[in-house]
C-alpha cells in the first residue's frame, strides 16, 4: 500500500485550513488540513519546519506541497509537507486581522501604554540584521544628525526562528551594560510573508513589555505590522527612525547660541531700564541740603538753649542747698558717729564671747584628728586614734589605746592667735574696724 500510494500520487498540492497544529519536542510538526468536506493528516519534518516563512497556527488557510505516504502504525495515509505558504494575501490578512484584534483586546496597543522618547539618548540599541542597507542607513543618519553610542543586536529578520531571535533581542537589551536609553527594531521592505516575523505574537508581546522606549521601523511607509501597534512610536522607514531618535546637533548648538544672545539682550535691556528708573527717581528727590535744613535749625536752637538750661539748673541746686545748709550742725554729726561706735564695740564684744578659743583659758581642751577636724564624741576619738590636744598655751599629740601614734602629725601653720582682753572687749593682736 505504501508503494502504491507513493507511486500513484507522487508530489501533490493541498489547500485547506490548519487544525490541531502541534510542534513536538523533537522539532517535527503534526496537524490536519481540512475543508468543508474532507480532511487529511499532515506532517512537517524538523528539517522542513525551519524553512517556513511563517509560524503555522490553527485556522490559517494554507497551500501545502509535499508527497503522499502511509503510516503503517495506524493504517492511515498522510501528506509529508515540504513547503507551505498561506493561501493568498487575503487569507494572510485575515489571519493578521484576527491576531491584531485578539492582542488589542488585551490592551497591548492602548495609547496610555505609549511612552515619550528621550530627548537626547546617550545609548541607542538597534535590533536588525548586521548585513544590509538598514543598519548602514541608521548609523549614517545618526552620525550626520548627532553622534551617539549605538549597540547592534544582530538577528535574522525573516525565515523560521526569526521571531524568536527578535523577541529575545528585545527582552535582552534591558539587562546589558550600558543599558540603552532607546531601542530601534528595524527591517527593510518586503512582502507580507517576509515581514511576517514582526507579526508574531511573541515579538509583539516583547515590544509591549519592553521597559525601554521602542521605535518600530519595519518595512516601507505603506507596510504595517503588529509590532508597529505595540511600539511606543512607529517610524515609516529605518532612516526616519534614526531621525526621530536624536535631534540635529547643529540645530541644538544654534539654538543655544540664539538663547545666549537673547539672554545678553535681556540683561542689557534690564540694566538700561533700571538706569532710566533710577534717573527718574533721583530727579524727584529733594536736594540733600533741603532735607537736612530743618534738623540743622533744630540743632542750632537746642545748642543755644543748652547753656541757659545748665545755668538755671545750677541756680536751682544752689537754692536747694541754701535751704538745707542751716540744718546741718557739727554736733549732730558727732552724735551720729558716737552711736555707731558704741554699736560696733558691742558687736565686737559679743564676737569675743563666742570665740572658739575662749574656753581654753578656763581649762578646757580642744580635741582634733590628724586633718584638724574637731572631735566632740568619744567614739570619733577612738576611731581616729591619733589626736591633737590643744590647750590655751599650746598643743599636745596623743593617741587612744596603748599603741603609739602611727606617724607624727604634720605641722599646721596657723595665724597668730589673739588673746582676749576683757578691759577693751578685744583680742590682743587684732584691731577693731
Predicted local confidence at residue 432, as pLDDT: 40
Same domain for 157 and 124:
yes
Same domain for 122 and 75:
no
| Domain finish residue from 247, 273, 298 | 247
Domain assignment present for 219? yes
Domain assignment present for 331? no
Same domain for 49 and 25:
yes
Q: What single DSSP character describes residue 198?
A: G
Same domain for 144 and 71:
no
What would the DSSP string read from start to end of 257-273?
Answer: HHHHHHHHHHHHHHHHH
Domain assignment present for 305? no
Predicted local confidence at residue 402, as pLDDT: 52
d(Cα 43, Cα 28) in Å, to the nearest integer?
A: 7
Predicted local confidence at residue 9, as pLDDT: 83
Count how many Cα atoms sit within 13 Å of the Cα of residue 224 in the half-sphere of its side chain. Answer: 7
Domain assignment present for 384? yes
- Residue by residue, pLDDT tens for the chain (433 residues) are 888 888 888 789 999 988 889 988 888 999 999 988 899 999 999 888 877 777 788 878 888 999 998 888 878 889 999 988 877 666 677 788 888 999 999 999 999 999 999 999 999 999 999 988 999 999 999 999 999 999 999 999 988 789 999 999 999 999 999 999 999 999 998 877 789 899 999 999 999 999 999 999 998 888 889 999 999 999 999 999 999 999 999 999 999 999 999 999 999 999 999 999 998 888 887 777 777 888 888 888 888 888 888 889 999 988 888 887 777 666 667 787 888 899 999 888 888 777 777 788 888 888 898 888 888 888 888 888 889 888 888 888 888 875 555 555 555 555 555 444 444 444 444 444 3
Same domain for 131 and 54:
no
Distances (CA, A) of 332 to 322, 335, 342, 346: 18, 5, 16, 22
We report the CATH number of the domain holding residue 19 as 2.40.50.140
Q: What single DSSP character describes residue 374?
A: B
| Domain finish residue from 222, 247, 272 | 247
Same domain for 149 and 233:
yes
Predicted local confidence at residue 420, as pLDDT: 46
Same domain for 274 and 232:
no
Partnered with residue 396 across adjacent β-strands are 389
d(Cα 332, Cα 265) in Å, to the nearest integer?
A: 94
Domain assignment present for 30? yes
Domain assignment present for 112? no
CA torsion 42-46-50-55 (nearest 10°) is 40
Same domain for 147 and 228:
yes
Predicted local confidence at residue 423, as pLDDT: 45
Domain assignment present for 359? yes
Q: How many domains does the chain have?
A: 4
Same domain for 232 and 145:
yes
Which tens digits make up the pLDDT trace of 241-252? 999 999 999 999
Q: Cell numbers at residue 242, please?
A: 534614526
Which tens digits make up the pLDDT trace of 68-111? 988 888 788 899 999 888 776 666 777 888 889 999 999 999 99
| Domain finish residue from 86, 110, 142 | 86
Give the domain range for residue 357: 353-428
Predicted local confidence at residue 424, as pLDDT: 45
Same domain for 365 and 267:
no
Same domain for 276 and 202:
no
Amino acid at each position: 500500500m505504501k508503494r502504491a500510494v507513493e507511486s500513484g500520487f507522487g508530489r501533490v498540492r493541498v489547500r485547506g485550513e490548519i487544525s490541531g497544529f502541534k510542534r513536538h519536542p523533537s522539532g517535527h510538526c503534526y496537524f490536519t488540513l481540512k475543508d468543508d468536506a474532507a480532511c487529511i493528516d499532515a506532517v512537517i519534518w524538523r528539517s522542513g519546519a525551519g524553512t517556513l516563512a511563517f509560524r503555522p497556527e490553527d485556522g490559517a488557510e494554507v497551500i501545502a506541497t509535499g508527497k503522499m505516504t502511509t503510516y503503517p502504525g495506524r493504517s492511515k495515509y498522510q501528506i509529508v509537507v515540504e513547503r507551505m505558504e498561506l493561501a493568498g494575501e487575503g487569507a494572510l490578512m485575515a489571519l493578521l486581522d484576527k491576531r491584531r484584534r485578539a492582542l488589542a483586546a488585551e490592551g497591548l496597543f492602548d495609547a496610555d501604554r505609549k511612552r515619550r522618547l528621550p530627548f537626547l539618548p546617550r545609548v541607542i540599541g538597534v535590533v536588525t540584521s548586521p548585513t544590509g542597507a538598514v543598519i548602514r542607513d541608521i548609523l549614517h543618519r545618526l552620525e550626520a544628525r548627532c553622534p551617539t553610542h549605538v549597540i547592534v543586536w544582530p538577528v535574522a529578520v525573516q525565515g523560521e526562528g526569526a521571531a524568536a531571535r527578535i523577541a529575545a533581542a528585545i527582552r535582552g537589551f534591558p539587562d546589558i551594560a550600558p543599558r540603552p536609553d532607546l531601542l530601534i527594531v528595524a527591517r527593510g521592505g518586503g512582502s507580507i510573508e517576509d515581514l511576517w516575523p514582526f507579526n508574531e505574537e511573541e515579538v509583539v508581546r516583547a515590544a509591549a513589555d519592553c521597559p525601554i522606549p521602542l521605535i518600530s521601523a519595519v518595512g516601507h511607509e505603506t507596510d504595517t505590522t503588529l509590532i508597529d501597534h505595540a511600539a511606543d512610536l512607529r517610524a515609516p522607514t529605518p532612516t526616519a527612525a534614526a531621525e526621530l531618535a536624536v535631534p540635529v546637533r547643529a540645530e541644538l548648538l544654534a539654538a543655544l547660541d540664539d538663547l545666549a544672545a537673547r539672554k545678553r539682550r535681556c540683561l542689557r535691556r534690564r540694566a538700561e531700564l533700571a538706569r532710566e528708573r533710577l534717573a527718574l527717581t533721583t530727579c524727584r528727590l529733594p536736594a540733600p541740603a533741603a532735607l537736612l535744613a530743618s534738623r540743622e535749625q533744630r540743632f542750632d536752637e537746642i545748642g543755644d538753649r543748652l547753656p541757659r538750661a545748665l545755668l538755671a539748673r545750677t541756680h536751682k541746686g544752689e537754692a536747694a542747698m541754701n535751704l538745707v545748709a542751716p540744718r546741718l550742725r557739727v554736733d549732730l554729726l558727732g552724735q551720729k558717729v558716737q552711736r555707731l561706735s558704741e554699736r560696733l564695740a558691742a558687736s565686737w564684744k559679743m564676737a569675743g564671747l563666742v570665740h572658739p578659743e575662749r574656753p581654753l583659758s578656763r581649762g578646757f581642751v580642744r580635741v582634733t584628728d590628724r586633718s584638724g577636724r574637731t572631735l566632740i564624741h568619744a567614739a570619733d576619738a577612738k576611731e581616729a586614734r591619733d589626736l591633737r590636744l590643744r590647750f590655751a598655751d599650746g598643743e599636745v599629740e596623743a593617741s587612744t589605746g596603748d599603741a603609739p601614734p602611727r606617724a607624727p602629725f604634720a605641722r599646721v601653720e596657723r595665724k597668730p592667735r589673739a588673746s582676749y582682753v576683757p578691759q577693751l572687749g578685744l583680742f590682743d593682736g587684732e584691731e577693731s574696724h
